[in-house]
Amino acid sequence: MATRKNTEDGGRETPPWKNLGAGLITGAADDDPSGIATYSQVGAAFGYGMLWCVFLTMPLMIAIQAISAGIGRVTGQGLMDGMRLHYPRKLVYGLLTLIFVANVINLAADIGAMGASLKLLIGGPALLYAALFAVLSLLLQVFIPFTRYAPILKLLTLSLFAYVATVLVIDVPWRAVLRSIVLPPIRWDAAYAVGLVALLGTTISPYLFCWQASEEVEEIETSKRRKPLQDAPQQAPSALRRIGIDTTVGMIFSNLIAFFIILTAAVVLHAHGKTDIQSSAQAAEALRPLAGELAFALFAAGIIGTGLLAVPVLAGATAYAAAGAFGQRSGLEHKPHEARFFYGMLIGSALLGIALNLTPLDPIKALYWSAVVNGVAAVPLMIAMMLMGSSSKVMGEFTMPWPLKLFGWLATAAMGAAVVGMFVTWGK
């Protein structure tokens, strides 16, 4: 494939693979073990009835993630840094609290799912495996500089192809699948509404916004040539083009993997009357007698691979958000003694995630409350992002173009409707 010139890196020719970074990693991290659990649940419960949602959320996800990346690239600041400068501190600290709670619960669920999946594959103590996975992720983040760690995360995105392979080893009635996408069998009941809320909340999460914006800032700080676009407008054409490609590829990849996970659960579990799935590990275990050892092994291994990607993203997003809200130095390129607050939050959130696995906390209820908190936090954060991206005071000459504004506000409205629907169906 031909390479193209990238003026944000001094006019050098850059291979297309190297133009994929923050967007690809963010999209892949969205399919974390908690997300796999949600996709498996709706596939098992509703069969093909929610496959159409993947195509609805795709453009909304692309838009909101491109906006978050654009804010980071234009201003050279993370989302919470910008909010601290332009919005009331009480709002910033309130959002940070919600993000922190939701991320720690998600971390706990993902760490636990990785341990449970390895136990399914080789036997042994799930809690020990979970702790070892979390500690491994921490050590890599703390002791490997960003410029060397980012390629590792990019490589881990390949683990999601396990779910493409899973579909290839089962018998899929593609005609019925296509019919359900064109003419979706929508149900008008509370259970279906809750499933929609869960699906949307899993796809559009606050930690993804914080991570992608901060990674754009990391790229600026670790590059000899890149500068915030406000200071180097000549870099804008190639930088914004790269963000558009990176984000579009990453979010399409994310949504296609979600599609394959829902499809697997629909074809194998729903079709055989297995409609109540509570976790990603349980989904993998349920595949074994119905779809065979290979499908089971691929599904379980995928949980571990995407967990190794998602855990550092969740912990990192928490640390970036906290450091930004309090005006502290942040960045994985810094050594721990150079950014003590940032690394303290990074390590602390991961350790809390491990600790929650040692408590009698019900992981299913924990995931439910994580979805509630994520939904509540996402709406005001998305509104703030839309206002920041539209403000010439924040973005200078690089305010959002109208297509991003349109789809960004549509995504915000969809999340708002999801939160309203969640409370309307509360307890049902």
Instruction: Measure Cα distances from 3 to 11, 14, 24, 216, 402 in Å.
Output: 12, 6, 19, 22, 29
Token readout for 192 is: 């279906």
pTM here is 0.90
Mean pLDDT, residues 23-28: 90
Residue 360 has pLDDT above 90, yes or no: no
Q: Which residue has the higher pLDDT, 4 or 10?
A: 10
Out of 9-13, 166-170, 218-222, 257-261, least confident range: 9-13
Task: Provide the sign of the torsion angle of the four alpha carbons 237, 397, 233, 211, taken in this order.
Answer: negative
CA distance 41 to 199: 10
- Percentage of the residues of the chain whose pLDDT score is greater than 90: 46
pLDDT tens-digit map of 59-104: 999 999 999 999 999 999 999 999 999 999 999 999 999 899 989 9
107 within 8 A of 366, measured Cβ to Cβ: no
- How far apart (Å, rounded) are the C-alpha atoms in residues 71 and 149? 23
Which residues share a beta bridge with 14? 4
Please give the structure tokens belonging to residue 146. 């960003």
pLDDT of 125 reads 93
Q: How far apart, in whole angstroms, are the C-alpha atoms of residue 246 and residue 27?
A: 10
Contact 67, 386 (CB under 8 A): yes
Q: What is the pLDDT of residue 284?
A: 80
Residues 253-274, mean pLDDT to the nearest whole number = 90
Angle at which helix 293-325 crosses helix 146-156, to 10 degrees, equals: 150
Does residue 2 register a pLDDT over 90? no
- Domains of the chain with CATH codes: 19-427 (1.20.1740.10)
Mean pLDDT of 11-23: 70
**Residue 192 CB contacts under 8 Å (≥ 6 apart), including other chains:** 46, 49, 186
**Band (147; pLDDT cuts 50, 70, 90):** confident
What does the pLDDT read at residue 67? 96
Instruction: Give 366 or 334, the one with higher predicted confidence.
Output: 334
Length of the chain: 428
What secondary structure does DSSP assign to 100-169, as a single string? Answer: HHHHHHHHHHHHHHHHHHHHHHH-S-HHHHHHHHHHHHHHHHHHS-HHHHHHHHHHHGGGGHHHHHHHHT
Three-state DSSP state, 366: helix
To the nearest whole number, what is the mean pLDDT of the chain? Answer: 87
- Asked if residue 3 has pLDDT above 60, the reply is no
At residue 426's C-alpha, the angle toward residues 422 and 427, to 5°, is 150
Q: Does the structure show a pLDDT above 90 at 394?
A: yes
Q: What is the pLDDT of residue 11?
A: 60
Q: How far is CA 106 from CA 60, 102, 222, in A?
A: 22, 6, 29
Between these two residues, 313 and 294, which has the higher pLDDT value?
Answer: 313
* Residue 14, phi then psi, degrees to nearest 5: -115, 125
Contact yes or no for 298/101 (Cβ under 8 A): no
